[in-house]
Amino acid sequence: MLTELSLQVPGRWADDPRMPDVSDDAASISKTMRLRFAGRCRECGADLPVGSAAVYDRTTKTVACLECALEPEPEPPCPPAEVPDVVVGTAGASAQREYERRTTKRATRIRDAHPRLGGVILALSDDPQSTKAWSVGARGEELLGRRLDGLAEYGVLVLHDRRIPPTKANIDHIAVGPSGVFVIDAKRYQGRPNLRIEGGLFRPRTEKLMVGSRDCTKLVAGVHGQLDRVRTALERAGLAETPVRGMLCFVEGDWPLIGGAFTISELDVLWPRKAVEYLVKPGPLDEATVRRVHRVLAEAFPPA
């Protein structure tokens, strides 16, 4: 066994310019020298014959060959990059903000026009229907959003109130589950949704979405536009094979006790409980794919 005494080096060796230097930080505990006695490298275990250059550690009283002693310390591994959490969004948030903006604007206009009676006028009058519709819509989105949020235990992840860049339009809800992606437009209309088919033998066959006596067919085109944007986002992410389907979900509609759901232009028209039945069905997407698709769509369509 080597001793400190046996490894002491004459002064002429310490000043030998041929000997490599160690760093200033290590100089107080380590010293490069030529061995007067044979030793063994503490790092690699190599035999060090008499006269070979080595580094002596005063603290542990051991030696190391130059290859081991002068090898740079490995840099610590970089910590894994933190993946930000997906922002799910708040159902009905943008519709509620629009309602509040309109009511505030109306109140300001009336108070400016009638400084003394403005408060009385506001108390005795209602907001116009075009303004109240935003509040009604926000409430419908909120009700459906609560039901969708409860589907996590079935492997269904949701996004609420998503903006469609670069437009100001939005998607009410996007649900991603084992059976695919569902783009859901929530409506809170009065009346019974039904499918009206016109034409036939002698004229083109057309389908109309009616809610009571009101023609709401334009809603179908709106959802198809949203579907096109979602499919494009998935294609850009290499997920073109992901099934995508659209839904028009009428919250608190006048639905019959039995049946009532129907399809128009490949869109499902239904109520919240029926929508849940579609969302929780098994399908081709595993858990990892569901999470990947969910994140891709969250980045493509930010909260409104």
Q: What was the pLDDT predicted at 73?
A: 64
Q: What was the pLDDT predicted at 34?
A: 87
Q: What was the pLDDT predicted at 122?
A: 84
The arithmetic mean of pLDDT across residues 27-47, rounded, is: 82
Q: What is the pLDDT of residues 254-267, one digit of tens each?
A: 999 888 999 999 99
Q: What was the pLDDT predicted at 222?
A: 95
- Domain assignment of residue 254, yes or no: yes
Q: Are residues 193 and 277 in the same domain?
A: yes
Q: Specify the pTM.
A: 0.72
For residues 275 and 267, the answer to whether their CB atoms sit within 8 Å is no
Q: Are residues 123 and 57 in the same domain?
A: no
Q: What was the pLDDT predicted at 59?
A: 83
For the ranges 22-36, 136-150, 161-175, 238-252, the lowest mean pLDDT is seen at 22-36
Torsions phi, psi for 157 (to 5 deg): -110, 145
The DSSP element (H or E) to which 196 belongs, if any, is strand 193-198
Q: Are residues 169 and 36 in the same domain?
A: no
Q: What is the pLDDT of residues 71-122, one digit of tens each?
A: 666 777 777 666 678 899 999 999 999 989 999 999 999 999 988 888 888 8
- Domain assignment of residue 75, yes or no: no
Amino acid of residue 123: A
| Range of the structural domain that residue 260 is part of | 93-300
Q: Are residues 65 and 192 in the same domain?
A: no
- Domain assignment of residue 147, yes or no: yes
The arithmetic mean of pLDDT across residues 199-215, rounded, is: 88
Q: Are residues 122 and 253 in the same domain?
A: yes
Q: Are residues 64 and 103 in the same domain?
A: no
For residues 246 and 224, the answer to whether their CB atoms sit within 8 Å is yes
- Biggest CA pair distance of the chain: 115
pLDDT above 90 covers a percentage of the chain that reads: 58
Q: Are residues 134 and 168 in the same domain?
A: yes
Q: Which residues contact 153 (CB under 8 A, 6 or more apart)?
A: none
Q: Which residues contact 45 (CB under 8 A, 6 or more apart)?
A: none
Q: Are residues 177 and 39 in the same domain?
A: no
Q: Are residues 118 and 224 in the same domain?
A: yes
Q: Are residues 179 and 287 in the same domain?
A: yes
Q: Are residues 293 and 165 in the same domain?
A: yes
Q: Please state the domain count of the chain.
A: 2
Task: Supply the CATH number for residue 46's domain.
Answer: 3.30.60
- Domain assignment of residue 2, yes or no: no
- Domain assignment of residue 292, yes or no: yes
Residue 53 — pLDDT band, cuts 50, 70, 90?
Answer: confident
